[in-house]
Amino acid sequence: MEPLRIDPVVDELAERFVAAGHRLFLVGGSVRDAVLGRLGNDLDFTTDARPEQVQRIVTGWAEAVWDTGIAFGTLGVVRKGRTLEITTFRADTYDRVTRNPEVVFGDTIEGDLLRRDFTVNAMAVELPSREFVDLHGGMSALAAKVLDTPAPPRESFADDPLRMLRAARFVAQLDFTVAPRVVEAMREMAGEIRRITAERVQAELSKLLCGVRARKGVELLVDTGLADHVLPEVPAMRLEIDEHHQHKDVYHHSLVVLDQAIDLEEDGPDLVLRLAALLHDIGKPATRRFESGGGVSFHHHEVVGAKMARKRLRALKYSKEIVEDVAQLVYLHLRFHGYGRGEWTDSAVRRYVTDAEHLLSRLHKLVRADCTTRNRRKAGALQRTYDDLEARIARLAAEEDLNRVRPDLDGNEIMRLLGLSPGPLVGQAWKHLKELRLDRGPLSRDEAEAELRAWARAKGLGDGAS
């Protein structure tokens, strides 16, 4: 608890509560993180004071107060750069149809801690005395890195099924393991997750995927059956391997790609890259074909997979930007394999860059992560080939500014030269010039105008003279 001793804000707050005849506890994740040495600037407290009493206690001391959660007993406070959230003891009951509690304020810290999700989050420190309250073995669970529930897990998950996803999220974020009785309850009650809104599922899934052990969290979702309800395309990749082992286990391969993509990250967790790595092969089950010669094919699985990824991420209420970025990465992840030993023309390289647009850096990482062969010589050759492609991209980019591939004439110039008004023909001419730009690289002004006039004549627009 060393961080608490050196933070005068915490003591200031506690003294105001004691002076008003109330108790105040640091609680939940704040205590867990303090023990782990990762306490942030956002602190959670609980108290026997009712919300209106809390409001009176902090008024005049806090620099800002917000009461958007007051119906649930929570007030937010800002003081000296700290965000403090203070919640009245709770003893809620649940209808077990939704996850919405009937808010009931409690009178004891014991009752409040019992209703919390996991024992590692059910510890408290009374302030200002620093008396540690651990009624459910949270400290020993934290030391053992085990997730268990204060109440019987079936009761806890029946009250709030989102806690099952939170278990997987904590596994990914903190590298915990889950107590056997909790895993058993998750398996039995996985279907209850359907009571949870897509937005809340998405929030937990995103945090899970951005965890340091994202793969471990995904594996727990699949092993307990939760993934069947929140991300069914992932367990569907567990294809039965034919007796001749003509293809890899797609599910296991995707987990390896996820791990390898994470290793290639440069600036912290990249949710788009991680989603694309996990989902890049989800089109394979629908496209698997056993060929007459004994082989197995997955033709166009990237096309099917992009559509599937788009549909699933929309259902999970991800933003349009994330949906489209992930789908495009899934769609493009196989393109490199047509590169061979460098047979692509400069035109093909330009198209690769143009199609990837702002996703090029992520596409580089995804393609490299997708190399999971155990044959070191083959793996090395693939990486060297991609090195060559990146070098060519860099050379062309330096010569031609590939990041801004545009036609050599803009729309205004097209209209002036051809005597056109704004309309579909201008767009068609623009697209024609862009295709030329991709195929041949930059054109001189005279060449661009000549090509435009030739296109106009072919369209029956006369000589195109303005």
Give yes or no for a contact between 258 and 270, defined as CB atoms under 8 angstroms apart.
Answer: no
Indicate the number of domains in the chain.
4
Residue 261 shares a structural domain with residue 395: yes
If 0-12 CB within 10 Å is exposed, 13-18 middle and 19+ buried, where does residue 3 land? middle
Residue 241 shares a structural domain with residue 332: yes
Backbone angles phi, psi at 442, to 5 degrees: -60, 140
Give the length of the chain.
Answer: 466
Residue 255 shares a structural domain with residue 399: yes
Q: Is residue 464 part of a domain?
A: no
Residue 130 shares a structural domain with residue 160: no
Q: How far apart are CA 290 and CA 296, in angstroms?
A: 5
pLDDT at residue 1, rounded to an integer: 45
pLDDT at residue 92, rounded to an integer: 64
Boundary of a domain, candidates 362, 386, 405: 405
Boundary of a domain, candidates 405, 427, 448: 405
Q: Is residue 31 part of a domain?
A: yes
What letter would DSSP give residue 370? T
pLDDT at residue 460, rounded to an integer: 79
Boundary of a domain, candidates 87, 115, 137: 137
Residue 383 shares a structural domain with residue 250: yes
Domain around 87: 2-137
Q: One digit per residue, pLDDT tens: the chain, 466 residues?
A: 444 455 788 899 999 999 999 999 999 989 998 888 877 778 999 999 999 999 999 999 999 999 988 988 999 999 988 899 999 998 766 666 665 667 789 999 999 999 899 999 999 999 999 999 999 999 999 999 999 999 999 999 998 999 999 999 999 999 999 999 999 999 999 999 999 999 999 999 999 999 999 999 999 999 999 999 999 999 999 975 544 445 568 999 999 999 999 999 998 999 999 999 999 999 998 888 877 776 777 888 999 999 999 999 999 999 999 999 999 999 999 998 878 777 888 888 888 988 898 999 999 999 999 988 778 888 888 889 999 999 998 888 777 665 555 566 777 888 888 888 888 888 888 888 877 777 777 778 888 888 888 888 888 786 555 4
Q: What is the pTM of this model?
A: 0.80
Q: Is residue 465 part of a domain?
A: no
pLDDT at residue 462, rounded to an integer: 62
b or e along 340-360 (b: 16 or more beta carbons within 10 Å of the residue's beta carbon)? Answer: eeeebebebbbbbbbebeebb
Q: Is residue 466 part of a domain?
A: no
Residue 226 shares a structural domain with residue 321: no
pLDDT at residue 137, rounded to an integer: 95
pLDDT at residue 430, rounded to an integer: 80
Residue 392 shares a structural domain with residue 252: yes
Question: Cis peptide before 128, with omega less than 30 degrees from 0?
Answer: yes
Residue 320 shares a structural domain with residue 383: yes
Residue 94 shares a structural domain with residue 112: yes
pLDDT at residue 95, rounded to an integer: 61
